[in-house]
Structure 1
């Protein structure tokens, strides 16, 4: 089963880190990523750009593109990992490893249901 581990943090705090602080954190996260690659359980992973450079498409028809996202939460989605584990407990363990490297982040773990031609949905809960 695939799981998305969504990494949330207060963007202003992350942007306040020095280059050295950011590089140190990224080195720890990359170590975890390298381990998951060796275990063949890491899929796509990305650090997202700043929300101030994002746009949102919404509305009927072709929709309207607006600046954003505009959320009412302190934390913004700043990155994600896609991992393959037999059960959610494995994804939770990976998220705990990520949290040890970045203890001020919040991690949401969510099953990924593949909607592709010919793909079998193994979990519809």
Structure 2
């Protein structure tokens, strides 16, 4: 069984109001429950805002540490789910369910074999 990363792209800005966010999170949890029931769930997590990130970069044999995201943008990686799927078509079907639930763009990408063992 292959593993796939479903990345959730979140727009920069404030967190949506509860009346918007709560139904979305219920839908996301329903998809997560379906993933678990199907045996496709590996793990998932939400991320704090990009302003909390620290970038480590090798330059001339020294590692430089800087605050903030690696690149500036209008959206950022807001969360992710790692799943098991037989093939890309199955992973894309799960990705579509996540996109419908979260109402944000998602990316589905295979993990390299042996990466999560």
Normalising by structure 2, we get a TM-score of 0.87
What whole-Å deviation, never above 9, does each CA across 1:82-122 have from its counterpart, x for those lacking one?
0101001111111111111233x111111111446xx6xxx
User: Normalized per residue, which structure has more strand?
Assistant: 2
Distance 2:15 2:7 in 1: 21
Distance 1:76 1:7 in 2: 8
Structure 2: any 5+ residue segments left out of the alignment?
Answer: none
Distance 1:37 1:102 in 2: 17
Distance 2:113 2:19 in 1: 38
Q: Which residue of 2 aligns with 1:9?
A: 10
SS in 1 for 2:20: helix
Q: Which residue of 2 aligns with 1:35?
A: 34
Normalising by structure 1, we get a TM-score of 0.82
Q: Aligned-residue CA RMSD in angstroms?
A: 1.7
